Amino acid sequence: MRAMVMTRRAPETRLRQQLVQFGHLCYERHLLVGLDGNLSVRLTDSLVLATRAGVHKGLMTADDLVVVDLAGRKLRGQGQPTSEMAMHLACYRERPDVEAVVHAHPPTAVAFTIAGLSLARCVLPEVVLTLGTVPTLPYATTGTTDLAEAVGAAAARHDALLLDRHGAVCLGTSVEDAFCKLETLEHLALIMKAARDLGGIQDLPTEEALRLRRMGLARYGGPPAAVAAAGAPMADLPDACQACSGCGNPRTDGLAPPAGFSLARLTRA
Ligand SMILES: [Zn+2]
């Protein structure tokens, strides 16, 4: 049994405002459309406040929220919990350190999954530093326990996940934190697409990616399992490299930079 994290939480009225504010931002930033996606936040260690099923995230109000327990039973609120609630609850059960979960359908990131291209590459230093890498989970039918279980398992090691042909799940210490990870993920996808269009994506040398990731885990923290693995030969990057479809990084064996890449070359560029 994991120890619960002692957290000073905002009052429910404030948490409701935050879900509404970031639901609107998800819509305005084109990270979802219409009824897509869902946002949630812990009210207590065992209760979650979440967007109800069938609400437009650009129009939602503080009344469009339901309170559920970690088993998914609705306790308060009008309407029903979203069919994707199980995915959120799997994250909360797996990660006592997580206070909020945002699920959206960021278009460029989802397009990468449809094209069979991985975002789990060490490309942007600040993303490696703060987020590590973003794995793509194999296709699973939306709203099923299969998908929820896969999300919970991956959430043990990652704060941002991509679901094949579907969307993203981002975990945070607050609604704002989870939303920022979602924005970062889509921004990464946009930059990777632009680089690909301009001639190709060049990964950071493995040694530099490792240095950044270890710095990030020490400075900003992350999933407890990733923090615990920070001293391992590839920190928490091997998972990402196993999921990667295109880069020249070694998988779990060896630390040599990919052929043709060097820090000197990067700093001259
Ligand atoms: Zn979805």
Active site residue 84: yes
Which stretches of the chain are assigned E, i.e. beta strand?
A: 38-42, 47-51, 65-69, 74-76, 100-104, 136-137, 160-163, 167-172
pLDDT mean over 3-26: 88
Containing 154, the helix (H) or strand (E) segment is: helix 145-155
* Ligand 1 centroid from CA 167, angstroms: 6
Q: How many Å separate Cα 209 from the centre of its chain? A: 19
In the chain, what are the domain boundaries? Answer: 12-197, 206-268
* Ligand 1 centroid from CA 61, angstroms: 20
* Ligand 1 centroid from CA 163, angstroms: 9
CATH of domain 12-197: 3.40.225.10
Position with higher pLDDT, 255 vs 56: 56
- With a threshold of 0.95, does the pTM exceed it? no
pLDDT mean over 241-245: 45
Q: How do strand 65-69 and strand 74-76 relate by DSSP bridges? A: antiparallel
Q: What is the pLDDT of residue 256?
A: 37
The average confidence (pLDDT) of the chain is 86
Q: Evaluate if residue 172 carries a pLDDT over 70.
A: yes
Q: Which of 102, 13, 11 has its CA nearest to residue 62?
A: 13
Beta bridge partners of 163: 137, 167
Q: Which of 28, 84, 149, 208 is catalytic?
A: 84
* Ligand 1 centroid from CA 222, angstroms: 24
Position with higher pLDDT, 248 vs 88: 88
pLDDT mean over 22-42: 97
